């Protein structure tokens, strides 16, 4: 076996092991993915988004079936669709942050990162 084949096999194994995180850390009831494997760690929208983006690639590479990818995707999307929405669900600290930064006006040069309240 030449070096190219060995590197390809190692890359394939790394991809499979990386994808297995989503297989093992996704809640089957709502599709949310924990952000890391620590005990009682919460799910995150970023990890869940990465999982959703990885499913089509996993199907293409043979890491999971198309039916399983569809099932996981629909579970996640249905959870978000059926979940309550609105600012009244955002914690107070986040509301304050939104209020402060929605009233900011740019200072100095247009497009500047400097803001004043």
Reported for 37-43, long-range contacts at CB under 8 A and 24+ positions apart, including other chains, are none
Q: Name the packing angle between helices 45-61 and 66-82 (round to 10°).
A: 160
Token pair listed for 65: 């079936």
CB 20 within 8 A of CB 67: no
The structure's pTM equals 0.68
Over the stretch 4-59, which tens digit does the pLDDT of each residue have? 888 888 989 999 999 999 999 999 999 999 998 888 888 999 999 999 999 999 99
Q: Which is more confidently placed, 3 or 100? A: 3
């Amino acid at each position: 076996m030449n070096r190219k084949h060995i590197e390809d096999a190692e890359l394939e194994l790394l991809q499979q092991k990386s994808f297995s995180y989503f297989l093992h850390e996704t809640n089957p009831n709502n599709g949310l993915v924990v952000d890391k494997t620590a005990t009682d760690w919460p799910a995150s929208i970023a990890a869940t988004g990465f999982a959703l983006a990885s499913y089509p690639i996993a199907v293409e590479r043979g890491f999971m079936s198309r039916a399983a990818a569809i099932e996981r995707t629909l579970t996640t999307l249905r959870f978000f669709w059926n979940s309550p929405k609105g600012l009244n669900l955002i914690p107070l600290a986040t509301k304050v942050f939104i209020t402060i930064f929605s009233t900011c006006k740019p200072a100095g040069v247009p497009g500047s990162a400097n803001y004043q309240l």
